[in-house]
Amino acid sequence: MAKLQEKAAPILRVAVDVPLYRLFDYEIPETIAAERLKPGLRLSVPFGRAQKTGYLVSLEERSEVSGVRLKPIDGVLDREPLLSPGDLRLLHWAARYYHHPLGEVFASAFPSGLRQGRTAVLERPVRYMLSAKGREFESELLQRAPKQKLLLEVFRQCPDALSEAELAASVDNWRPALKQLAAKGLVKFDDSAISAAVAETPPVKGNPIVCNPEQTAAVAEVCAGLDRFGVFLLEGVTGSGKTEVYMQIIGKVLERGLQVLVLLPEITLTPQLENRFRQRFAVDIEVSHSKLTDAQRQNAWLSMQQGAGAILLGTRSALFTPLPRLGLIILDEEHDASFKQQEGFRFSARDVAVVRAKLANVPVLLGSATPSLESLYNAQAGRYRLLQLPNRAGNAAAPAVRLLDIRNKSLHEGISEPLFAEIRQTLEKGEQVLLFLNRRGFAPRLICHDCGWVARCTHCDANLVIHFREQKLRCHHCDAEQPLVKSCLSCTGSSLRPLGLGTERVEQILPELFPDKAVVRLDRDTTQRKGSLENYLRQINEGRADIILGTQMLAKGHHFPNVTLVAILDTDSGLYSIDFHAAEKLAQMIVQVIGRAGRADKPGSVILQTRHPEHPLLTTLIREGYNGFARQALAERNAAALPPFSHQALFRVQAGDPFKPKAFLEAVKNLAAAKQTGGTLVLGPVAAPMAKRAGSYRYQLLLQDANRQALQQLLDRLLPEIDKIKKEKNLRWSLDVDPVDLY
């Protein structure tokens, strides 16, 4: 008999959720069988004095740390890994590409409960349905209880049972009404197995809209490539029927029994859109965004991970959700800045989605009315397939857009005489007006007329913004606030004046200019409370608003069919920014705002108030549309060797000390010079455009290379060394690969 070879038990290499560029080795305790330990498992590990969640990366023969006795792990949290080998490959790729600690990258793939080590059990959502009595019941009998009547009608429209999430999406504050309906015996718990019911019905309900030829062509192109990787860029003006195209393609993917991941910017994920999906598809639709509770998001995650969920509608954070039967990824409003995570693990959900699709060998569809210059460039280069919907769907005509020169015109709180006349005419026809101003608060500055003193934030290089109704001065960068002062803090005089325009100030003047007209203001200040945005949107859509005033919140996704006049009060902020991304963002914002006008059967018009009517960005945009602008902007980027014609990585450093950040970046720069083998540009260090923010002094160093590989290799060599630079405790640095702004 052969002698059994004495073999040392393997050790565990673990990624722990800490901001450190290294992995940690642990021993396997005797109580745990080594065979069940597979990469991707969540572990509970001792870490310092605490216990943390770790993620098993690999089993190794021996540890790289010598001379220390390894600690055993405390336990294994899952029977089987929740992540598939494909998911693990994606996370490893992302950690390497963004040069971010693997433990934090792993953690970002999990909902917060699982990250904290909670057990992964999917709680079946409670569902409700009409009773036999409820199906027969004459809803007119509920005339005196409108909420109950509404709820009953919602149940009528959906033959299946409804979950709490679905009810919340259709009727706000639905719970009391549901209780009353249940007390009347009209509604009951659904105790049948949902999944069985769902499996029997075809995934697409009813007869979808008949597509126009452009939509048909787009659907056909994507559907011809459903069995392999490919990137499609769907460019279509607002209202051109992109969402309809998505739904047609999704239907085909569902018929193959596969799952679909749909990513949207936070603000466009409205109940309206969710309802459109629910009306079209008889499958389990999961939703994941920041307004949901941790428990709801965890359930959505697990439902997809276990394959019960068929469609996941989510924001950036849903990107890494495990999808065992992934068949298609859609990213709507692909140009939107909210797809870029701006703190911690800084990744572009758009770019990672493309890599995810490639690893899974499935198509990915990027959609926008105003595609990013990167994506247009990729389409030009033949890497992405460009699909276009040049016209509005149905019979809505494109709005007429014109520049209104406001030089030498008197403005009444930002509204010129010609604009005033247009607004009045529109209101007289009983149509709605949308006024766009991308600045909240009353006024962006409080200035002393006698001595020139301006109220500044003591923690930031920024002016304090006046919030008049609350009688506050507030910093929009660090949220510091103080009471609105009545006299100058420098000369003690009383000639303080608000300077500039915010939405609150315009809102105040509107009732004077347009008596008896209802005004709705939509910005971050008026939509803080849960459900308030939904209430305002309903008010607008039910015609209980004449003038809608708001910030960029208005520019995205919402449908206002009765709006026929759109005006941008201050088009110029952003025309002369030092950040080269600003022009692209401004053009996108203008086009998105234009898209809000005249969506239904009424033609719309758009007025842009400007003091720079000859500015090439504006004239090109008006004459040749977004595509003309994009062509020109790409030519300029090319001439200046800026992205997408080169690739960037930005080191940001901040500290309480004004000199340390710069010294630290000088050291990084020297290291970069030493590690450099090619021609990567190293620019800086320079003070950040906002040199002081929330009490910290900020500097940055920019790396740029036409060759992405060369830049990545330099970062590979540089990163391990940076941790060794001596630095004071409160100095914080971060790396942003492919930054989308230079602030």
* Separation between Cα atoms, residue 606 and residue 599, nearest integer Å: 12
344: left (phi over 0), alpha (psi -120 to 50) or beta: left
Is 287 in a helix, a strand, or coil?
A: strand
CB within 8 A of 674, min separation 6: which ones?
none
Question: Which does residue 273 touch among ligand ADP, Zn ion, none (CB within 5 to 8 A, set by kind)?
Answer: none
* Separation between Cα atoms, residue 524 and residue 674, nearest integer Å: 47
**Residues 523, 529, 535: CA angle, nearest 5 degrees:** 75
Q: Which of 496, 494, 483, 490 is nearest to 448 (CA)?
A: 496
In whole angstroms, the minimum distance from the beta carbon of 690 to Zn ion comes to 9
State which residue, 51 or 490, has the beta carbon closest to Zn ion: 490
- Which of residues 493, 531, 543, 658 is near Zn ion by CB under 5 A? 493
Question: Which does residue 519 touch among ligand ADP, Zn ion, none (CB within 5 to 8 A, set by kind)?
Answer: none
Question: Which does residue 317 touch among Zn ion, ligand ADP, none (CB within 5 to 8 A, set by kind)?
Answer: none
Rule CB under 6 A: which residues touch ligand ADP? 209-212, 215, 236, 238-244, 393-394
State which residue, 477 or 652, has the beta carbon closest to Zn ion: 477
Q: Please list, residue by residue across 37-51, b when 16 or more beta carbons sit within 10 angstroms of its beta carbon and e when fewer do.
A: bebbbbbebebeeee
- Which of residues 132, 451, 454, 673 is near Zn ion by CB under 5 A? 451
When asked if residue 475 is in the footprint of Zn ion (CB under 5 A), the reply is: yes
Question: Which does residue 386 touch among Zn ion, ligand ADP, none (CB within 5 to 8 A, set by kind)?
Answer: none
Q: Please list, residue by residue across 353-390, b when 16 or more beta carbons sit within 10 angstroms of its beta carbon and e when fewer do.
A: bbebbeebebbbbbbbbbbbbbbbbbbeeeebbbbebe
Question: Which does residue 85 touch among ligand ADP, Zn ion, none (CB within 5 to 8 A, set by kind)?
Answer: none
When asked if residue 478 is in the footprint of Zn ion (CB under 5 A), the reply is: yes
Is there a contact between 518 and 544 (Cβ–Cβ < 8 Å)? yes
Is 343 in a helix, a strand, or coil?
A: coil
When asked if residue 554 is in the footprint of Zn ion (CB under 5 A), the reply is: no
When asked if residue 459 is in the footprint of Zn ion (CB under 5 A), the reply is: yes
- Per the listing, tokens 């003193």 go with 453
In whole angstroms, the minimum distance from the beta carbon of 243 to ligand ADP comes to 3
In whole angstroms, the minimum distance from the beta carbon of 187 to Zn ion comes to 50
Question: Which does residue 540 touch among Zn ion, ligand ADP, none (CB within 5 to 8 A, set by kind)?
Answer: none
CB within 8 A of 123, min separation 6: which ones?
295, 299
When asked if residue 457 is in the footprint of Zn ion (CB under 5 A), the reply is: yes
In whole angstroms, the minimum distance from the beta carbon of 397 to Zn ion comes to 46
CB within 8 A of 92, min separation 6: which ones?
102
Spatial strand order of the sheet with 681-693 comes to 681-693, 696-705, 647-655, 732-737
State which residue, 401 or 688, has the beta carbon closest to Zn ion: 688
512-551: contacts with Zn ion (CB under 5 A): none
State which residue, 102 or 285, has the beta carbon closest to ligand ADP: 285
* Separation between Cα atoms, residue 357 and residue 328, nearest integer Å: 8
Question: Which does residue 488 touch among ligand ADP, Zn ion, none (CB within 5 to 8 A, set by kind)?
Answer: Zn ion
Q: Where are the alpha helices (DSSP H) in 206-293?
A: 213-223, 242-255, 271-280
State which residue, 32 or 694, has the beta carbon closest to Zn ion: 694
* Separation between Cα atoms, residue 210 and residue 212, nearest integer Å: 7
State which residue, 379 or 448, has the beta carbon closest to Zn ion: 448
Q: What are phi and psi of 496, to 5 degrees?
A: -80, 135
State which residue, 250 or 475, has the beta carbon closest to Zn ion: 475
State which residue, 215 or 341, has the beta carbon closest to ligand ADP: 215
Q: Which of 116, 46, 106 is nearest to 81 (CA)?
A: 106
In whole angstroms, the minimum distance from the beta carbon of 398 to ligand ADP comes to 13
Question: Which does residue 455 touch among ligand ADP, Zn ion, none (CB within 5 to 8 A, set by kind)?
Answer: none
Question: Which does residue 460 touch among ligand ADP, Zn ion, none (CB within 5 to 8 A, set by kind)?
Answer: Zn ion
In whole angstroms, the minimum distance from the beta carbon of 239 to ligand ADP comes to 5
Q: What are phi and psi of 6, to 5 degrees?
A: -70, 115
- Which of residues 25, 74, 266, 450 is near Zn ion by CB under 5 A? 450
When asked if residue 695 is in the footprint of Zn ion (CB under 5 A), the reply is: no
State which residue, 355 or 600, has the beta carbon closest to ligand ADP: 600
In whole angstroms, the minimum distance from the beta carbon of 713 to ligand ADP comes to 41
State which residue, 167 or 448, has the beta carbon closest to Zn ion: 448
- Which of residues 262, 448, 682, 703 is near Zn ion by CB under 5 A? 448
State which residue, 61 or 343, has the beta carbon closest to Zn ion: 343
Residue 479 burial by Cβ neighbours in a 10 Å radius (0-12, 13-18, 19+): exposed
Contacts with Zn ion, residue ranges (CB under 5 A): 448, 450-451, 453, 457, 459-460, 475, 477-478, 480, 488, 490-491, 493
